[in-house]
């Protein structure tokens, strides 16, 4: 049910999920045990006369303190994970480390992925655009710069634990390191019109040398892919 994590920092999401699940399930079970016991023990036919005194059970008010502590645990854990994600992003952008950048443009109802080509620079002649097909190298930092050509979309890659809105008129950035070669789903999660549910794309994580080959001649590479895979019809899309 929970999609396989292939991201370098995805464990923060998964560990928080486990932490919060354990806490909430434990609190829920405790609450329901107390409530169900009260209902059985204090129904009118067994307990004709209510008494105001609570006795030891009134210590249950300290549950609020326990919950407060658990809240602090959750929010601290979550914030450490978050700082890991966004500081990593800020440092990457500032320090121009070794990363691969792809521009993402959301449109009703498809994704365009703009690749810089072998020179790794945008705005040059070897840039090319693929529709609904994101190719990234494995074990490499990838930066996605998102924007939108019409309404708000949201790029969601479940296996990478990545989701970010593509907003018209502004650029948003998202980063990840994919740890496992393979073929993964990409989907749009922000209602963008009647074709919202059709706005699907594929993520292809490939070995580093294959990525070079892809940048070098993506047409040949795509033909190879199309002959191997059941997914076809990805191809060049001229967005201008």
Partner 1 sequence: MESIITIEDMHTEHQGFIRRYIFSTDHKVIAAQYLITALIWALVAGLLASIFRTQLALSQKSILTPESYNAAVTMHGAIMIFWVAMPLLIGAFANLCIPLMVGAKDMAFPGLNMLSYWVFFLSSIILISSFFVPSGPAPFGWTIYPPLSADARFTAAKPGEILFLFALLLEFASMLMGGINYITTTISLRTRGLGMMRLPIVVWMQLIAALVFLFAVTPLVAGIGFLLLDVIVGTSFFRVTAQSQGDPLLWQHIFWFFGHPEVYVVLLPGLGIIAEVFASHTRKPIFGYKSIVYATIASAVLSFVVWGHHMFVSGMNPSLSYPFAVTTIAISVPFSVILVCLALTLWNGSIRFTSSFLFALGSFAAFIIGGLTGLFLGSQVLDVYLHDTYFVIAHFHYTIFPSVILASFAGIYYWFPKLFGRTMNEFWGKVHFWGTFIGFNVFAFPLFFLGIAGGPRRYYDITHIDYLRHFQWIHILSTTGAVLLIAFQTPFIINFFVSVFRGKQAERNPWKATTLEWLAESPPPHRNWNGMVPVVVNDPYEYSPEGEEEEDFKPQGILIPRDEVLREGTNAPTGKH
User: Tell me, what DSSP letter sits at residue 170?
Assistant: S
Hey, is 49 helix, strand or coil?
coil
Residue 43 near partner 1 by CB under 8 A: yes
Residue 132 near partner 1 by CB under 8 A: no
Provide, rounded to whole angstroms, the least separation between the CB of residue 126 and partner 1: 28
Residue 69 near partner 1 by CB under 8 A: no
- Residue from the set 8, 85, 143, 181 that interacts with partner 1 by CB under 8 A: 85
Kindly report whether the peptide bond that precedes residue 109 is cis, defined as omega within 30 degrees of 0.
Answer: yes
Provide, rounded to whole angstroms, the least separation between the CB of residue 209 and partner 1: 27
Hey, is 235 helix, strand or coil?
coil
Smaller CB distance to partner 1: residue 82 or 219? 82
Q: Give the interface segment with partner 1, choosing from 121-129, 182-190, 204-212, 232-240 (CB under 8 A).
A: 182-190
Could you give the CA distance from residue 159 to residue 171 in angstroms, rounded to a whole number? 23
User: Tell me, what DSSP letter sits at residue 7?
Assistant: B
Interface positions, 90-119, toward partner 1 (CB under 8 A): 108
Interface positions, 12-31, toward partner 1 (CB under 8 A): 12-13, 16-17, 20-21, 23-24, 27-28, 31
Place of tokens 């199309």: 226
End-to-end CA distance of the chain: 39
Burial class (CB in 10 A: 0-12, 13-18, 19+), 27: middle
Residue 61 near partner 1 by CB under 8 A: yes
């Amino acid at each position: 049910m929970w999609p396989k994590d292939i991201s370098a920092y995805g464990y923060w999401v998964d560990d928080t999920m486990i932490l919060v699940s354990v806490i909430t399930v434990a609190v829920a079970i405790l609450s329901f045990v107390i409530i169900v016991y009260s209902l059985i023990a204090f129904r009118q036919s067994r307990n004709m006369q209510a008494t105001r005194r609570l006795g030891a059970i009134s210590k249950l008010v300290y549950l609020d303190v326990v919950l407060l502590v658990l809240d602090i645990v959750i929010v601290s854990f979550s914030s450490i994970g978050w700082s890991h994600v966004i500081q990593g992003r800020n440092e990457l952008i500032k320090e121009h480390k070794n990363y691969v950048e792809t521009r993402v443009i959301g449109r009703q109802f498809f994704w365009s992925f703009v690749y810089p080509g072998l020179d790794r620079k945008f705005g040059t002649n070897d840039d090319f655009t693929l529709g609904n097909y994101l190719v990234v190298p494995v074990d490499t930092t990838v930066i996605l710069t998102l924007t939108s050509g019409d309404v708000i979309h949201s790029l969601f890659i479940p296996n990478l634990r990545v989701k970010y809105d593509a907003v018209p008129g502004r650029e948003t950035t998202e980063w990840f390191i994919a740890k496992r070669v393979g073929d993964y789903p990409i989907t749009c999660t922000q209602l963008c019109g009647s074709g919202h549910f059709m706005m699907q794309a594929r993520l292809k994580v490939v070995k580093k040398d294959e990525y070079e080959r892809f940048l070098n001649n993506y047409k040949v590479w795509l033909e190879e892919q199309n002959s191997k895979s059941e997914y076809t019809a990805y191809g060049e899309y001229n967005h201008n």
